Structures are given as C-alpha cells and as structure tokens.
C-alpha cells in the first residue's frame, strides 16, 4: 500500500520504524532504485498496489551541491519529476519532503514564513529542492509537500552528533550565532507524515513542519552541551568553552539563509497536531541515546 523511498536516510529510517510499529504494509527502497531513472521506478513499482509514496530520498549535502550541481538537480529535480510522473500514472498520493532553504531568509525577528510566501533560494541545494517542488505542482494534484528544517535523528550525520563529538574532542568549540531557525527531531516529523496518511487527508498542498520555538546554532549547541552533560553523554569533568561567532567567521561553500523560521499554523490546524518545543524533542532524543549507548558510540567515536 505504501512505498517509502529513501528508507536508509536519516528521516526515512525513522519513517520505516514507525510504519513497522504500526503494522502498516509497505515496500521500501533507497539508492538501489535510482529515482533519477524513471524505468527503475516503473520496474520496482510493477505489480505492486501502491496508494501512497513517501519520498524521503534526496541529494542533501548542502555544501557539496555547490560543486555537484548536475547531480543535485538530477536527484532533487529530475528524480522528483520521475516520482511525480509515476504517481500520476498510477494514481498514487505523494508525500514529499522539502526544505526551508527554498527561502532566502529574513531579518531576525520578522514573521515566520508561511506556505504562500515568496521563495527565493540562495544556494544550489535550495534551488534544486524548489525545482522539485515545482515539478510536483505541475504534474500532480494529490500531493503533500512538507517543508522542514534543521533535522536530526538517530541515523545519519547531523548537528547534534557533530556537537557531541566536538565536545568530547575539544576544549573550545565555535558556533555561529546569527543564523536562526527551528530544529526538528525526525521522530516528530515522522509522526506528522503518518498522520497525513492515517487521516486519509485530501487537504493537498504545501505544509511547514519543524519543532516549535526559535533558536540559533550557538544556543542549540549550548543546550546540547548542557543536556548531554546532565545525561552523562559527555564526561562530567570535561569542560568545553562554546564561543558564539558570526557567519562571516565560518565560511562555507553554500550560503545559508539567516532567518528561515517556518510558520506551522497551517499543519497544526489542518491535521489537529500539537507540536513540541525543540528543546523538549532534543531531550527525548538525547535520552534515547543515553539508553542506547551503542548508537551514540557508533556515530560519535572514530
Ligand atoms: N537534513 C536536514 O537538515 C534537512 C532539512 C530540511 C529538509 N530536509 C529534507 O528531508 C529529506 C530527508 O533528509 P535526510 O536528512 O533524511 O536525508 P539523507 O539522510 O541524506 O537521506 C536521503 C536518502 O536518499 C538516498 N538517495 C540519494 N540519491 C538517491 C537516488 N538517486 N535514488 C534513491 N535514493 C537516493 C540517500 O542515499 P545516500 O546517502 O547513499 O546518498 C539517502 O539514503 C530530504 O528531502 C531533505 O532534502 C533535510
């Protein structure tokens, strides 16, 4: 009934976990069924009764995309077009994940972005993701595009793991303080994705989903440090100075929006969802790492 694309990625892994837990019938694929190849999609989907596709796959390396422009567009635009075409042909409803990087970022303290706000990506990744959104809108009527931001979860590289590793290795960690957003725990987003399906919703369109409340990378890092220390994920006698720096002092290949906070009013209202604050979700994630030490060690230790 469900085809989960990108099940080996950070988000896809948690989506698969919840599909299993809820005993839903699904098929799953990742890179072995290349979304850039329409024939590969047809071959995999042949003879399968599919009602929903959840697409968690994508080209997600924001900095590398500045060099690998063709590959970023091959996956995030052409691949998404293929999924949309396949969905249209087979009358499948599509849930696709997109990003806050379709926006250029506003001044700090200005209102958060609603789904109808003007997009204007400032890096290749954002441009390729927006191109994918446009393909879906052109081809399909029955779609949900869920834009999210600052994702972290058990599987894959993410900011939380990077910070814990640096806190173990270094005495000084510098973190950017002038980029604002809302972190998102993959488990929380997964809950929203499954709610869309379980409601059998026909309220198609674009939605925004992150955890609640706004922060910057520096404050996010400080909170990870304090919580990780309290939970024993970092040695209690290890002192680390965390220093706020400006974006100019931390050059990266891709430019990033300064203030890309997404408004969640629409998704909360339509799906009657209650969203948690990012620090509550982070606490849950860190507790699960404490209770499954081997997950943390395999991600953080070299
Ligand atoms: N991570 C974030 O902070 C963030 C923020 C906003 C939005 N998003 C969006 O959320 C979604 C999930 O992100 P994520 O962080 O979970 O991504 P991820 O961990 O990079 O997972 C993506 C998966 O897609 C696979 N994939 C790549 N190319 C493919 C292809 N041609 N055909 C089939 N599968 C392919 C990847 O395989 P390989 O790993 O082998 O390449 C990987 O397993 C993406 O759409 C992303 O754009 C992420």
User: Could you report the per-residue pLDDT of 206-253, keeping only the tens digit for each?
Assistant: 999 999 999 999 999 999 999 999 999 998 888 999 999 999 999 999
Q: 21 alpha carbon to ligand 1 midpoint, in Å?
A: 22
Q: 59 alpha carbon to ligand 1 midpoint, in Å?
A: 5
Q: 100 alpha carbon to ligand 1 midpoint, in Å?
A: 15
Radius of gyration of the chain (CA): 19
Res 18 pLDDT > 80: yes
> Residue 161: phi, psi to the nearest 5?
-65, -45
Res 302 pLDDT > 70: no
Q: Does residue 34 line the site of ligand 1, with CB under 6 A?
A: yes
Read off the pLDDT of each residue in 60-73 and give the average, rounded to a whole number: 98
pLDDT for 159-209, tens place per residue? 999 999 999 999 999 999 999 999 999 999 999 999 999 999 999 999 999
Mean of all residue pLDDT scores within the chain: 95
> Residue 121: phi, psi to the nearest 5?
-60, 145
Q: Judge whether 180 and 259 are in contact, CB under 8 Å.
A: yes
- Among 14, 30, 80, 162, which residue has the most ligand 1 atoms within 8 Å of its CB, making it the best to mutate? 30
Q: 58 alpha carbon to ligand 1 midpoint, in Å?
A: 4
Q: 53 alpha carbon to ligand 1 midpoint, in Å?
A: 15
Read off the pLDDT of each residue in 84-104 and give the average, rounded to a whole number: 97
Which numbered atom of ligand 1 lies nearest the CA of 157? 19
Task: Region of 184 please: left (phi>0), alpha (psi -120 to 50) or beta.
Answer: beta
Tell which residue, 13, 128, 3, has the closest CA to residue 59: 128
**Atom 7 of ligand 1 has which residue's CA nearest to it?**
99
Q: 237 alpha carbon to ligand 1 midpoint, in Å?
A: 37
Instruction: Considering only residues 109 and 33, tell me which one the structure prediction assigns the higher pLDDT.
Output: 33
- Give the pLDDT confidence score for residue 298 in this predicted structure: 79
Q: Does residue 9 line the site of ligand 1, with CB under 6 A?
A: yes
- Give the pLDDT confidence score for residue 185 in this predicted structure: 98
Q: Does residue 76 line the site of ligand 1, with CB under 6 A?
A: no
Q: Does residue 60 line the site of ligand 1, with CB under 6 A?
A: yes
Which numbered atom of ligand 1 lies nearest the CA of 55? 45
Known catalytic residue at 125:
yes
Q: Does residue 156 line the site of ligand 1, with CB under 6 A?
A: yes
Contacts of residue 56, Cβ cutoff 8 Å, sequence gap at least 6: 4, 5, 6, 7, 9, 11, 12, 15, 97
Q: Does residue 80 line the site of ligand 1, with CB under 6 A?
A: no
Res 71 pLDDT > 80: yes
Which numbered atom of ligand 1 lies nearest the CA of 57? 24
- Give the pLDDT confidence score for residue 293 in this predicted structure: 79
**pLDDT tier for residue 297 given thresholds of 50, 70 and 90:** confident
E strand or H helix that includes residue 208: strand 205-208
Return d(Cα 225, Cα 182) in angstroms, integer: 17
Percent of the chain with pLDDT over 90: 92
Return d(Cα 196, Cα 8) in angstroms, integer: 21
């Amino acid at each position: 009934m469900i085809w989960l694309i990108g099940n080996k990625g950070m988000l896809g892994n948690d989506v698969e976990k919840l599909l299993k837990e809820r005993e839903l019938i699904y098929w799953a694929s990742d890179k072995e069924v290349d979304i850039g190849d329409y024939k590969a999609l047809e071959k995999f989907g042949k003879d399968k009764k599919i009602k929903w596709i959840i697409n968690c796959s994508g080209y997600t390396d924001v900095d590398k995309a500045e060099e690998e422009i063709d590959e970023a567009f091959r996956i995030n635009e052409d691949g998404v077009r293929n999924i949309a075409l396949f969905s249209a042909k087979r009358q499948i409803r599509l849930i696709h994940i997109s990003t806050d990087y379709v926006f250029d970022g506003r001044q700090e303290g200005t209102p958060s972005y609603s789904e109808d706000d003007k997009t204007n990506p400032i890096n290749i990744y954002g441009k390729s993701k927006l191109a994918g959104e446009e393909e879906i809108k052109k081809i399909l009527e029955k779609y949900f595009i869920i834009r999210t931001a600052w994702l972290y979860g058990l599987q894959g590289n993410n900011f939380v793991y990077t910070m814990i590793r640096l806190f173990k290795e270094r005495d000084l960690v510098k973190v950017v303080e002038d980029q604002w957003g809302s972190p998102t725990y993959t488990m929380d987003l997964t809950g929203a994705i499954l709610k869309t399906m379980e409601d059998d919703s026909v309220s198609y369109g674009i939605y925004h989903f992150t955890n609640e409340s706004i922060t910057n990378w520096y404050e996010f890092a400080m909170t990870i440090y304090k919580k990780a220390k309290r939970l024993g994920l970092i040695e209690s006698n290890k002192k680390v100075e965390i220093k706020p720096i400006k974006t100019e002092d931390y050059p990266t290949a891709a430019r990033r929006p300064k203030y890309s906070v997404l408004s969640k009013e629409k998704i909360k209202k339509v799906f009657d969802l209650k969203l948690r604050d990012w620090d509550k979700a982070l606490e849950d994630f860190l507790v699960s790492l404490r209770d499954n030490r081997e997950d943390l060690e395999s991600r953080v230790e070299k």
